[in-house]
Chains A and B, each alone.
Chain A
Amino acid sequence: MKTLKFFFIIILFLNIITISYADKEDQLVIKISKNLRCLICQGQSIYDSQSDFAVSMKLLISKKIKLGLNEREIYKQLIDKYGEWIVYDTGLNKNTVILWGLPVLLFLVGGAIILKKLVFRKF
């Protein structure tokens, strides 16, 4: 009876480990698919979309994770295939200079205007 209990606990423990691992994998699939744009149904992420393209993409992401690829490697492979457009969080390059640079520029210009007004008010 004791041996049976022991085996029962071992099996339970192994199941918990498997479930938590699968959970981690699923979480990563969700995280990656939320950062990918569905190219067929624009305006939706791969995670939100149920199109054939998105369904296959989610399966591919899951397969890549099982093969041991990390998040960054998966993004890189997909960018090579579909271009920078597929990721919502694009990196800084010559096409995205305005996207990344404009907020900084606006912040600096706005800051300068506010500073100027404050300085003028003082004197």
Chain B
Amino acid sequence: MKNKILFFVLIFFLSFCFLVLFKSLDSSSIYVPEKSEERELPEFVSTELFLNEEITSNEIFSGNEFYILNIWASWCAPCREEHPQLMELSKNPSLKIIGLNYKDDPKRAKKFLKELGNPFSITVIDKKGIIAIEFGGYGIPETFVINKDKKIIKTYIGNLTDDSIKQINSLLK
């Protein structure tokens, strides 16, 4: 009798372990915390890619409009994939897109934008990747939606999809 109970307990335990592990196969290994509340925009100083002049975050986000900050690099393949989406978004007049060029060679970055089009109003350089961390970024590509009160209201990790473009457009309304 005791052996039977032990056997069933063992079977139950093994099935439980199997279920937990099987379920975790589908989930992403990158942890994304729930950042539901709005976050303050970090302050930083950087260099503009084309003008090669110093620019502050206050100067970049000075207008009374919605902003999108996109972290990208010429060496990042998913950035190339999401570029048409950014070009589509840049047609929206109530939105300004800021590019954060992450750990990139300026020459290659300029070539990338010349080849695929430039959706960014301003492109700033993040040579050491510190500004991306200040924004709460994980890697690239990553996109932040900033409202008129200068608060980060939404983050998209990974490349933008048609669905995310629809979501962004609905946030602007």
Task: Give the complex CA separation of A59 and B139 in angstroms.
Answer: 15
Inter-subunit contact A81/B39 (CB<8 Å)? yes
Which residues on A sit within 8 Å (CB–CB) of B128? 56, 59
Q: Which of A55, A56, A82, A83 has the most CB of B within 10 A?
A: A56
Q: From B35, which residue of chain A is reached at the shortest CB distance? A: A83
From A42, A60, A63, name the one whose CB has the most chain B CB atoms within 10 angstroms.
Answer: A60
Q: Does B149 sit at the interface, judged by CB under 8 A? A: no
B117 is an interface residue with CB less than 8 A from chain A: no
Give the Cβ gap from B5 to chain A, nearest Cβ, in Å. 22
Chain B interface mostly: loop
Give the CA-CA distance A60 to B139 in the complex, in Å. 15
Closest-CB distance, B160 to chain A (whole angstroms): 20
Whether the Cβ atoms of A80 and B39 lie closer than 8 Å is: yes
Interface size class of chain A, counting residues whose CB lies under 8 Å from the partner chain: 10 to 19
Which of B25-33, B60-68, B86-94, B164-172 lies at the binding interface? B25-33
- Contact for B129 among A59, A83, A85, CB less than 8 A: A59
In the complex, whether A39 has a CB less than 8 A from a CB of chain B is yes
Task: Classify the interface of chain A: helix, strand, loop or mixed.
Answer: helix
- Measured between alpha carbons, how far is A85 from B34 in the docked complex, in Å? 10
For residue B49, which residues in chain A have a CB less than 8 angstroms away from its CB? Answer: none
Interface mask (A41-56 → B, CB under 8 Å = 1, otherwise 0): 0100000000011011
Kindly identify, within residues 21 to 49 of chain B, every residue whose CB is under 8 Å from any CB belonging to chain A: 29-31, 33-35, 39
User: Does the CB pair A56–B30 fall under 8 Å?
Assistant: no
Residues on A close to B: CB < 8 A?
Answer: 39-40, 42, 52-53, 55-57, 59-60, 63, 80-86
B residues contacting A by CB (< 8 A) are: 29-31, 33-35, 39, 103, 128-130, 132-136, 138-139
**7 A-B contacts (beta carbon < 8 Å):** A42-B29, A52-B139, A56-B128, A59-B128, A81-B134, A81-B136, A85-B33
